[in-house]
Structure 1
Amino acid sequence: MGKRQEAALITKQKIIEATKALLEVKSVDDINIEEITNKAGVAKGSFYTYFKRKEDVVSVIAFMDYEIIRDIVMVSTDSIYEQICVYLKKSVQVIEDKSLQVAQLWMKSVVAPIEGETAGIMKYQYDMDTIGEILLRAVDHGELKKDTPVDEIKSNIVNTYYGAVVSWCIMSGEKGKLIKSIDDFCKDALRVIIEEYVCHE
């Protein structure tokens, strides 16, 4: 990697870190791009080299958390049921920790994206791909039957997850409610969905 590319990565990382720090003390609406660049120690124009809006930086930050969760699940030797529960529960914990406002921005970008905005759709596809991969690995390892309808099951799981997040956003993001909703889903419906296809030896 050349010096110019390295400098570009450092600048982008400074913007991300500055935004993270500001989100710890302010809501997304209360942060402006000038604040981000001042905290990062970079020119305001540098921001627009990497991001169109402050919400784009927030999406990058959120994705970093989800990638860590995905990595944890992908190296797990737990049952298929436990792997999916861990992914869902840790994901909603991130959502509750990031704030209602961030979750509302994310949902808006899924349901009614601004022209050219792809973060919400990318996150939805990311979740579909991750749950699908977890299920396919379980089929390959003989934990789930070969005829398991992976696409149907992953859609059911991810759509339930997104429905819980949307409901939580509508109900003003009461602390703990989203986590409880996903926990209830895991205890009841998810177990039933998975159990039908588990290979019993």
Structure 2
Amino acid sequence: MESLTSRQKKALETREKLLKTSLDLFNKYGFEHVSVEQITKACNVSKGTFYTHFPSKYDVILEKFMELDQFYSTVEKNIDPSLSASEKILFVYQQQMNYLTKVVGKDLLRTVYTAAMTNQVEQDHYLINPQRKIFQIMNTYIEEGIRQGEFRQDVSAPNIQAIIRRCMRANVYDWLIHSEDFDLASEMAQFTTIVLDGLKSHK
């Protein structure tokens, strides 16, 4: 692999600086109250430089969230194939909640959720995009559970998928608005287990 030129290294440094500064400003003032001009002034670069690296300020957040989806690919590889579909779903959520708590943190997640609720983000934004890795993994397990008769046949796969996705968002939202004594991983496990039990076939 060829080493980077000094110009390429400089570009990467600028991108990283824009990324960090943007997130710091979002956390301090709120996503909707920070302009691209504020970001570029703080970094001492032009607006053109910002747009060279990020199409919009929301794309700064997407950059970090896409890193999170890379984590899910690693989790998927470590799942025991002998587990039931429900157990696989619970395992993925357990790993996800631990990662959000210990690595991502509340500040960034609050920024993501706040940005998703503003009119500055398109309706089909990344947070709910069905092509996200986490949703693709969950869909695979849900379809597996339906095929194997673990889940009810009277509820369609898309409806089960929507319910399982809401388990994630609801618990993360609760975590963001509660104090530090809210254990995201255990609350998610309890909540999702109850939901999954209601979706199982009880023939």
Structure 1 length-normalised TM = 0.65
> Is the contact made by 1:84 and 1:131 (CA closer than 8 Å) also made in structure 2?
yes
Which residue type is aligned with residue 128 of structure 2? I
Give the letter aligned to residue 163 of structure 1: A
> Is 1:89 aligned with 2:94?
yes
Partners of 1:168 and 1:178 within 8 A in 2: yes
- Superposition pairs for residues 133-148 of structure 1, below 5 Å? 133-139=140-146, 142=148, 144=150, 147=153
Comparing both chains, which one has the higher relative contact order based on Cα–Cα distances under 8 Å and sequence gaps of 6 or more? 2
Q: CA RMSD in A?
A: 4.2
Contact 2:115–2:121 under 8 Å retained in 1: no
What is the correspondence of 1:60-71 to structure 2 with a 5 Å cutoff? 60-71=63-74
Are the equivalent residues in 1 in contact too, given 2:110–2:176 (CA < 8 A)? yes
Percent of aligned pairs sharing the same letter: 15
1:152 lines up with 2:131 in the alignment? no
**Are 2:52 and 1:49 equivalent residues in the alignment?**
yes
1:9 CA displacement: 11
Instruction: Specify which of 113, 120, 137 is matched with residue 114 of structure 1.
Output: 120
Pairing partner for 2:173 from 154, 166, 178: 166
Are 1:15 and 2:20 an aligned pair?
A: no
Q: Supply the distance in 2 between the matched residues of 1:17 and 1:69 (Cα, whole angstroms).
A: 26
**TM-score if structure 2 supplies the norm length?**
0.65
Which shifted more, 90-99 or 149-158? 90-99
2:190 is aligned to: 184
Aligned residues: 185
- Contact 1:109–1:120 under 8 Å retained in 2: no
Residue deviations 1:68-127, cap 9 Å, x none? 2145326631321222112212222233232222112222233334144733333x6634
What corresponds to 1:29 in structure 2?
27
Distance in structure 2 (CA, Å) of the matches to 1:167 and 1:90: 18
Following superposition, the deviation at residue 159 of structure 1 comes to 1.0
- Alignment gaps of 5+ in structure 2: 1-6, 30-37
Matched, 1:58 2:83: no
CA-to-partner distance for each residue in 1:169-189, whole Å, 9 max, x for gaps?
222x52652222102124x41
Offset from partner CA, 1:126-182 (integer Å, 9 cap, x none) = 344432222124445x364693632222211111221111222222x5265222210
Deviation string 1:41-73 (CA, Å, 9 cap, x unpaired) is x97743321314555223222222223214532
Q: State the AA in 2 paired with 1:29.
A: N
Q: In the superposition, relative to structure 1, how do residues 62 and 34 fare at CA in structure 2: closer, same or farther (>3 Å)? A: same
Alpha-carbon distance in 2 for matches of 1:44, 1:80: 48
In the alignment, the residues of structure 2 paired with residue 156 and residue 67 of structure 1 have an alpha-carbon distance, to the nearest angstrom, of: 23
Supply the AA of the counterpart residue of 1:181: E
Contact persistence 2:143–2:157 (CA under 8 A): yes
